[in-house]
Structure 1
């Protein structure tokens, strides 16, 4: 199955088109008891014994050259204004690309952070996949496990078609 990766080069023209003007490199210094994919809780744990405040924003992943994903993420804003990621990384990286966005706070549901997914190409299969990814994010925020299972099944059924499009844009 195809997997998202951290883009080596960000599509700044595309990011500007979705109103992301500023992206910062943020160093990672994971807390000792931190858990991958639990950035909000990791930041809150860090702030229990350290100065700073939570800063919400987006990190990015990409599926080939066809799909771009924004994952809401929490980092620490230190008293001097610099940012620090305290969450153990999923990939072998020492820093992340991070776009601060305070509006994310209004998108949090059931203590879960949102995801936004965009098609980078005009293709029906990719557009259908992006719709499923977006719906999956909504169902995850709502905690609807039955809907998520159905969506995963639908994504699996379209995987061969998606692979064809993915290979077309290599």
Structure 2
């Protein structure tokens, strides 16, 4: 099970988080841009092109049970529109993006934050989300040992999570 770029976002849930405007941003990688290096890709692009850095969140989902907001950086073009110059990990041509420069405060050595939310009220999903958020915190801190321990706990939960995923996604 992997997080995937959703076809439709859970807009009512997003409103409960205070997110009301979500942009659809096209992905237009340039020669030399690399997956998972959005910040560096944007800096490199801006060396020879106009625009500015725009921090924010991209969205992915684990079926209908978990929503993940991942810190992401795109180009804000002079006309106010956005362009993503980082190749997709999911082979899509556009992403959902919520501009939010407040995440700059959470950036640690070019590592961008992530937030994970349960979309259903389920004990297994809630435990998984707790592990995901803790793992993201440890990733920002660079705590590899803690990440390994959390990954083990997630592995132990995986069979129950798969059952829950299948129950909500049939």
TM-score by length of 1: 0.97
Tell me which residue corresponds to 2:119: 120
Cα separation, 1, equivalents of 2:5 and 2:80: 25
Residue 21 of structure 1 corresponds to 20
4+ runs deviating over 2 angstroms: none
Report the alpha carbon displacement of residue 10 of structure 1 after superposing the two structures with TM. Answer: 0.6
Q: Does the CA-based 8 Å contact 1:43-1:54 persist in structure 2? A: yes
User: Would the aligned equivalents of 2:5 and 2:95 in 1 still touch at CA under 8 Å?
Assistant: no
The residue that corresponds to 2:110 in the other structure is 111
Mapped to 1, the partners of 2:100 and 2:120 lie a distance apart of 25
Q: Once the 2 structures are TM-superposed, how far is the Cα of residue 27 of structure 1 from its aligned partner?
A: 1.2
Alpha-carbon deviation of 1:31?
A: 1.6
Deviations 1:108-150 (A, max 9, x none): 1122100000001111111110000000000000011111111
Decide whether the 8 Å contact of 1:110 with 1:142 is kept in 2.
Answer: no
Unaligned residue ranges in structure 2 (runs of 5+):
none
Measured in 1, the distance between the counterparts of 2:66 and 2:2 equals: 11
Equivalent-residue separation in structure 1 for 2:138 and 2:70 (angstroms):
15
State TM-score, norm by structure 2. 0.97
Unmatched segments (≥5 aa) in structure 1? none
